[in-house]
Structures are given as C-alpha cells and as structure tokens.
Structure 1
Amino acid sequence: MTGAAPLLFERYGHVALITLNRPEALNAFTGDMGELWSERYRECDRDDSIRAVVVTGNGRAFCAGADMSGGADTFDTHDSANFSSSPVLPAWKVRKPVIAAMNGHAIGLGFSLALQCDFRFAATDSKYGLIQSRRGVLADGCSHWLLPRLIGVEAAMEMLVLGRTLTSDELAEKGLAREILPAAQVLPAALSFADEIASQSSPLIAAMSKRLLWDGLGMSLDAMDAKESQWLQHTMGKADAIEGGRAFAERRAPRWQSQVNSDWPEG
C-alpha cells in the first residue's frame, strides 16, 4: 500500500475508534481497507483493555460502497475459492459491542457493513441503502440473513429488491438507526455511548450478552434457555458480580475486574 493508510485506528480509554480513511473517494471500499478492518476487529476482540468499538468515516461519507473506479470491471467474474460476500470479519463475531457512527452516506457494501454492527448512529442529510439490485449484483454482507431479522421479511424484500436509497428519517422509521443527528454530532454521540458501555457495564457481561443475542437468532427457545442458564451460572459469584452490588450500595462507579478472554465460559 502507498500513500495514506485506508484505515486509521485510535484509542480513547477503553474505546477503540476505527476510521475509514479514503475521504477523497467517499471512503469507497477496497481490498486493502477490508484486510485492515478485519485485522483491527480481531485486535479489538483479543485486547481485553478494549471494551467497545466505534467505526466511522473520514470526511463527508461513512462508506459509499465498493470502489467502482474500475467501471465495468468492478463486478466482473470472481473465481476465487475463498470469495465471501462479507469481505470484512462480521462485526457480530467481535465480542465487544461495535457501534457504527455513520457520519455521512452509507451505500451498498458500506451500508451492509454498518448493518452488521450492534448499534448505528446516522447523520441527517445523508443517503443510506442497499442499491446493488440497480447495479446488477446481489446485496452482500449477509444482508439477506440479517435484514429480515432486523425489520421483517417484507421490509427487507423492499430494500433488497428495489434498491432505493433511504433518507435518515426513513432509516429511523425502519428502526435501523439508534439516533439521527447532524453529521458533526454523530461521532461524539457514538463515542459517548461507547464510553458509557465501557465504564458502566461489566466487560464480560456485555460480551456474553452480545454473543447470546447474535447466536440466539438461530437457536430454539429451549436451546437458548439451556445456554443462558449455563452462562448465568458462570457469572454468579465472580468478582464483577460482587463488585456490581458493592458499587451500587456505595453509590460509586464500578471498578470492573473481568477479562473477556481469560474469563470466557467454556461451551
């Protein structure tokens, strides 16, 4: 890679910030960007000092989708046996909560990758959507699995088949954004939300809750009951369970001791 890095990585206390860094191209997605993005997600999962992750874009867009500077060759035949519709490690595989701070337009793959996050903050006066049907290819990022679970089959069908762009208000109406804000306020709001998670919630419990919620999308009620019961038992009597009650009684902020990697339950 030459020139500026296509992706930046910073730390704010226990919060990691990943910034897509191709502002001149509206942060259009490239293979180099995807490799770095996946590496940073894996680092966030491994590093127990990181408790929440925020992803945003540099400039006036979050991500304008796949880099189409190749014109007709952009979606040419892809014969690789390792090809995946999700070119970034899905955010749901990161055990720390991941928040998309969509500071501007999020289109196509850019929107698919934001949908994989646990929370989304969106900018007013921006466009969002899965427009791939209007480019002659399928939507990506496991959106055919994810969207029906987020907004229902009919609404998902409309988005995937028609390929329309949505305004921020339409995004909020569908329940696909936690908060709609002026562009300049999106990242600060997302970082503040991430910091609340990092400081107020037990790191282990936040990670376990995230994993149960995502895994639960494909589990039966009985299977979830068994898993939740097993994992709840794992947390009882641990240092964070004692600290949570003590901090509440003493009316102070909790001092969490859990480590996601070393304290993760078996099975």
Structure 2
Amino acid sequence: MYQDILYEVRDHIALITLNRPQALNAFSGTLGEEWSDAYRRADADDEVRVVVVTGAGKAFCAGADMSGGAATFNSYEGGDFSAAALSTAAFEIRKPVIAAVNGSAVGLGLSLAVQADFRVLAEEGKYGFLQVRRGVVADAYIHWTLPRLIGTERANELLLTGRRISGSEAAAMGLALRVVPAAEVLNVAMELAREIASQCSPLAVAMTKRLLLQAATAPLPRVARLETHWLGQSMGTEDAIEGGTAYAEKRLPQWRSSINDNWPQAEVPPGDEA
C-alpha cells in the first residue's frame, strides 16, 4: 500500500516506519503523503490505541530531501504549498504518538518528531534545526511546538543558531522523555506504548490529549471550563465503570469503548466555542 513507509498494527499499537534508509529517510513528497495517511488511518481504527513512529536504518529522518541541490529551496510559488509538511500533524490525531528517534534527526525530521507526544532519542544521534544554515525558515509548526516543549530561550538558541546537538544535550534541554543507546530506542518506545495501550482507557487517553491541545493556548478560566466539560463527558462511560471495577477486583481492565463511536459530539462547552 505504501512506498516510503511501513505500517503494521500489533497489540493495539500502530508502528509507522519511515522506509527510505538509503536516503537516511529524508523527507519527500511521497513520504509526507504516506505519513499523513498513516496518522489518519491510525486515528480512524479503534484497534489502534497508540502510534509509534521510527526510522529504518541508522537515521530517523535527515530532514528535507536535498538531492535537488540548489533547487531544493529555489522558489516559492504559493498555491498549495504549506510549511506544515504533513497534512495531518501528530498532535491532531487522538491517539498518543511516540517518536522512536533511532538515529539522527535534523531540520524537518526533528520538527516532525517534536510534534509527537513523547520522544525517545538515540544517544549517538545528532539533532538540530538547521534551516537557517540553509537559508530558510524552519517548518512543521516548530515555532509553536518547540517553545512550549523546552522554553523560549532554548528554542531561540536552537532555531536561531541552527547548530547540531548531541543526544545528551537534547536530554539536558528537555527535548526527549528518554535518551538511550540507539539499539534500545524502539524497545523503550514500545514498552511505553504497551503500558498505555493496556493500562489506560483509550477513550479517556484520547479525550485527555485533545484537552491538552485545547488548553495549550487558553486562559485559566477557560481551561477550568474545558476540564469540567471533558471530565463530565468521560464520567459514566463504559470505560469509567470498567476502570473502577478492574481496580477493585485487582485485574487488568478490559477496555470496550470506541473512540469513534463514543467520541463527545461537542468538544467544547456549549456557548464556549470562541
């Protein structure tokens, strides 16, 4: 079905593998279309509770495909061009996304990893937003996501200097949940994915992710209304009953709610749409 990625679902986890190892998984138009489609596919499939994204070979993603040389960023003609890169971002889908960054990720490759809810980075990898050293502005919502992840000053440092950093530097900056040897990256990411998929209500997790996105730019009084609204939507659901019962019976919960069938019709409180 896909040319530049691999997609498989196992134990409620969708594994997306960027599959251009000969080009260090450099971002191409086809890769972007397929990656976006894979996110939408995972979001629509109730069998999927968590998404893990990794790269084939020794790199995660070497950024934009520079094989065109000087023509890579030669002109901007408008039209359908978008700096978003993916038509569906990781933070837009309802399932948690874990970036298993198995090797170097630079430029757009790192921007797309930052969109994920969690990042596990390889100690041996090199990371950086190199765009200013290529004469262009960074992309994929990085000016929104990065300051929220690591703070304004550190985001300034990375985006304005375009310098590469090591895995240990990335860890010190808060750019990753975990930094481990490259050989362990996928295993660590999958362990986290399995914990979420088995222990946590997929519906409650999806609702919490959406609440976090809405709350990111909302003032405190609106966050209070949103939190109350989403809590009210989650109470009384099949998973809410099962979660309490499983806890009392000291067993693993058997989640049955459907994210698609049981998703709240209103994502914000009535009268609070603005």
TM-score of the two chains, using structure 1 as the length reference: 0.97
Where 2:105 maps in the other structure, the secondary structure is: strand
- Rounded to whole Å, the distance in 2 between the matches of 1:78 and 1:254 is 52
SS where residue 38 of structure 1 aligns?
A: helix
Shift of the alpha carbon at 1:266? 2.1
What are the equivalent positions in structure 2 for 1:222-233 lying under 5 Å apart?
Answer: 222-233=221-232
Which residue does the alignment assign to 1:152? Answer: 151
Runs of 4+ in 1 over 6 A off after TM superposition: none
Question: Does 1:97 find its partner at 2:121?
Answer: no
1:140 offset after TM fit, Å? 0.6
- What amino acid maps onto 1:63 in structure 2? C
Which residue number in structure 1 is paired with residue 270 of structure 2? none
In 2, the alpha carbon distance for the partners of 1:236 and 1:28 equals: 44
Deviation at 1:261, TM superposition (A): 1.0
Aligned to 1:244: 243
Q: Any idea what the Cα deviations from partners look like across 1:169-221, whole Å, max 9, x if unmatched?
A: 11111111111111111011111111111110000110011111112111111
**Counterpart of 1:256?**
255
Identity %: 54
- Give CA-to-partner distance per residue, 1:199-244, whole Å, 9 cap, x none: 1000011001111111211111111111111111111111111111
3-state SS in 2 of match to 1:263: coil
The counterpart of 1:5, out of the listed 3, 6, 28, is 3
Distance (whole Å) between structure 2 residues aligned to residue 187 and residue 5 of structure 1? 22
Cα pair 2:211 2:230 within 8 Å, conserved: no
Task: Please tell me whether the aligned partners of residues 12 and 47 of structure 2 are also in contact (alpha carbons under 8 angstroms).
Answer: yes
1:80 Cα offset (Å):
3.5
- Partner of 1:244, secondary structure, is helix
Show the counterpart of 1:31. Answer: 29
**Hey, what's the Cα distance between the residues in 1 that align with 2:33 and 2:216?**
27
CA distance in structure 1 between the partners assigned to 2:226 and 2:264 by the alignment:
11
Query: What amino acid maps onto 1:24 in structure 2?
Result: Q
Ranges in structure 2 where 5+ consecutive residues have no aligned partner: 267-274
Matched pairs, number: 265
Tell me the distance in 1 between the aligned counterparts of 2:169 and 2:214: 28
2:74 corresponds, among 65, 73, 76, to 76
Tell me the equivalent position of 2:39: 41
- Is 1:116 the equivalent of 2:115? yes
TM-score when normalising by structure 2:
0.95
Whether the aligned pair in 1 keeps the contact of 2:122 and 2:185 (CA below 8 Å) is yes
Q: Which amino acid aligns with 1:176?
A: L
Deviation of the 1:76 alpha carbon: 1.4
SS, match of residue 45 in structure 1: helix
Corresponding residue of 2:15: 17
Cα distance between partner residues in 1 of 2:6 and 2:106:
20
Name the counterpart of 1:127.
126
Amino acid at match of 2:29: G
CA offsets per residue over residues 22-58 of structure 1, 9 Å max, x none? 1011000000000000001001111111000000000
Rounded to whole Å, the distance in 1 between the matches of 2:218 and 2:264 is 18
**Which residue does the alignment assign to 1:54?**
52
Pairing 1:175–2:182 present? no
Q: Is residue 2:166 matched to residue 1:164?
A: no
**SS across alignment from 1:18:** strand
8 Å CA contact 2:246–2:253 kept in 1: the answer is yes
CA separation in 1, counterparts of 2:231 and 2:117?
Answer: 22
